Amino acid sequence: MAELLEVRLHGRGGLGAVTSAELLAQAAAGEGKFTQSFPSFGPERRGAPVVAFLRVSDEFIRTRTNVRTPDYSVVIDPRLLSVVDVTEGLKDNGVIIINSSRSPKQLKADYGYKWPVASVNATHIAQETIGLPITNTAMIGAFLKVAPIIPLEAMKEALQERFGSRASQNFTAMQRAYDELLFEGAAI
C-alpha cells in the first residue's frame, strides 16, 4: 500500500466508532504502517451521530484535517442511513460497508448508491458473540475483508489491550463478520 488510505466511520456516541478507528490505527501501526485516528463530535452525548476518521499509509502522513474524501465509508449504525449522508465526499472508486441485515443489492436500491456496497448483519453477530448489540469490532472484521490493509490476526493484540478478558469474544465477532460479509450480492 503506497498510497494514503482514508476511512470515515459513522456511528453513534458510546457505540464504538471512535474505538474502531483507534483499534485499527493501533494494529496497523504494529504492522509498521503510519496511522492517524481521531473523532469528530457534534453535540457530545451518548447516542448522537459520531464520525471517526482513520488514515493508513506506508509513508509518513502529513495531512492533519478531517477525512473529506474517504476511500471507504463504514456505517456501524444502520439507522444513520436515513439521517446522515454517509457517501458525502466518497471517492468515485470508494466502497460503502454497512451493518445491515439487508443485502448490498437491496441497500443500493433503497438509497440509490452508485458505489459498491458490502453488508453484514453485525448487530446479530455482536449479540450472539459478545452478548451486546455493540457492533464496532464486528465491523472492523467487515472492513478488513474489503480493505485488507493488515491481516485480521494483527487485531488480536489491540483487542487484548483494549478489552482484556473480553478480547476473544470481540475477535470472534470480528472473524464472523469477516467470513459472513456480502459484497455486491456475493460473499468475498
pLDDT for 45-58, tens place per residue? 667 889 999 999 99
Residue 13 pLDDT level (bands cut at 50, 70, 90):
confident
139, 99 contact by CB (below 8 A):
yes
Domain count, the chain: 1
Q: Which domain holds residue 42?
A: 5-187
Strand partners, 96: 73, 117
We report the CATH number of the domain holding residue 62 as 3.40.920.10
- Cell 502529513 locates to 62
Residue 183 pLDDT level (bands cut at 50, 70, 90):
very high
pTM of the shown model: 0.93
